[in-house]
A and B are shown apart, each in its own frame.
Chain A
C-alpha cells in the first residue's frame, strides 16, 4: 500500500482526533488574533450607537442552544451596548427552545451592567422580554399591527399595557429598528413579513451557515447590516470594546481553519497522485 493509498483510506477518526487537538491547544495559548470589523457589521454598531436614550429597539433573539457559540456573544455585546446607551429594549424569541436561554442572557447582561457600569437595568422600565410564540411569520405580521395581538402579556404573564416601557408602544412604527439574531429561517420571515410588509428597519446577525445567503437583501437595502457567524460576532465585540467568548474563540478558529485547509490540500494531493498512477492502468486495459 503506497502512501497516497494510505492517505485516501485513512480512518476518519484520525481526522477527528487531529481536529480535536488543534481546537483544544489554543485554549491554553495566549495570543490575540487581529480582528478588523467589516462594513456590514460596523453599520449595525453605528445604528445602535446613533440612537438616543429612551429610544425603543427590538431584539429578536431567534436561536436555540445549538447555535449559542455564534450568536450568544452578539446578544451579550448588543444588549450591554443598548443598556449602557439607556435604550428601551424589547426582546423576544421565535425559536422553539430558546426562551430560558434568552432570559438568562438578559439577566447576565443586567448583572454585568451592575458590576461594570454601576446600574442595573430594570425589567419593565429598561427592557421587556416578551417570550416565545410559534409560527414566526404570523407573529411578525401580528406585531406589525399591534404587539398585543401575539403578545398580550410578557414572558412572566404581565399584561403589556401595565409595563411602563410598553405604554404607547403599539407596533413597529414605535421602535427605531429591529435586530434579528437568528439560526434558521426566522430571518426570512423577518425580511419578508417585517421589512417587505411593514418597512421595518432591519439588520440580521446569523450563523455562518446562513450568512452568505443574505447578501442580496443587504445590497437591495432590505436589511442594513449583517453579522455573519463567530467572526462577525468577534467583530461586533471589538466594536463594542467588549471582548467576550467570540473574540476568545478566534484563536481556536485560526488553528482549526489551518488544519482543515491542510486536510483539503492533503486530500487533493493524494487524489491527484492516485489518479495519475491509475491512469496508465486504465489505458492498458
Chain B
C-alpha cells in the first residue's frame, strides 16, 4: 500500500467512523455552543489590521447577542503572529483541542495558505474574508475554504483596467510590493488595460517594508505616463502616498491605488496628501447607501474610527456564516450541509447595502465601486464611490475555464498583451 493509497483508505475509514459517531455527536451538539475559532494577527507587522478583524467579528456577534439559530456562540481568538508557522500551530490547537467547528480569519496570504493546507486534510470549514490569493478560489480550490465577503486579488483590478481605458489613459506605470498579492493585483489591471489598447510602460517591484521610496519616485517622475498605479499595503502605503506628495508628483500625475492602498487603515493617519486617489473595491465607506451609512456610523461610535477593510470584511464574513447557519437550524456539526448552505446563501443586509452571492468557485460576485478619497465634513478622509461596475466575476469577462488555463499572475506573467 503506497502512501497515497494509505491516505485515501484511512480518510475513508475516518469518514465512516465519523459518520458512525454522528448520532451521538448530534445529540450532544444541539445543546452545546457553536464554537468559532478566530485566527488573527494580534502581534507582528500587521497587528493593527488584526485588531480590527477582532472588532469586526465582535461587533457583529454582539449585535446578535452571541446567539445564532438559537444556539449560543463561543468565540475563541488566537494570535497568528503574522507568521505561517504560528498560524498553523494555532489552527491545530483550535480544531484539535479547542473543538472549534469552524475557523475564520487570518490576514496575510502566507498565514492563510498555511491554514488552508491544514484544513484541506481535516475538512474543517475555513472562512477567509481577508485572504485574497487568487488560486484559492480558482486553480487550487478547496471546497471547505470559502471566501465569504472576501475578494480575489485580481477581481477588482480587472474592471479598474477597463475604467482606466475609459478615462482615456494610454500609458500607465505600476509600482507594487514584490509578492503574490501585488503581482495578482497588478496583473489584473495590466491584462485588461493592455488588451484594450493601453500600454504598461514600466513595472516596479520593491521589497515589502521599503522605507524610502525616493529612488522609485525619481524614476516614476521621468516616465511621462498618464497615471501611476500603486499596489501598497500598510506602512508602505502610508509612506508611498506621503512621499508621492512631498516629491511633487501629486497634482502632476494622477495616482491610482489598489483598494488596500487607500483603505481606512492607511488613510486615517494621513491628511491632504491622500486627497483624490482613485481605487477599485467592493466596499466604499463613504457610500451614501443607507445600510452602509448606518454601519459606518455605529462602528465609528463604538470604536472611534471609520471601519477599514478589515473590520468591514470580518463583520460581513461572520454575518454570512450566521445567515447560512440560520438556514440549517444551527446544525454546524453536519459539515457537508453547513458548507453547502454557506455556498448557497446570498448575503443580505451587509454593510455593502446589496445582496451578494458566491460564484461556482466560492468567490463572491460584487458590484465593484470605483472610489475616490475625499475629505469628509469633519476633516477626515474617506473613500466615496464615483461609479460602479455591477456584478463583476473574479474572471472578469473571460470564460472561467479559458482564464484558468493561463498561468496565475506573477512577476513574469502579467497578462500583458504584446502590441
> Is A bound to B?
no
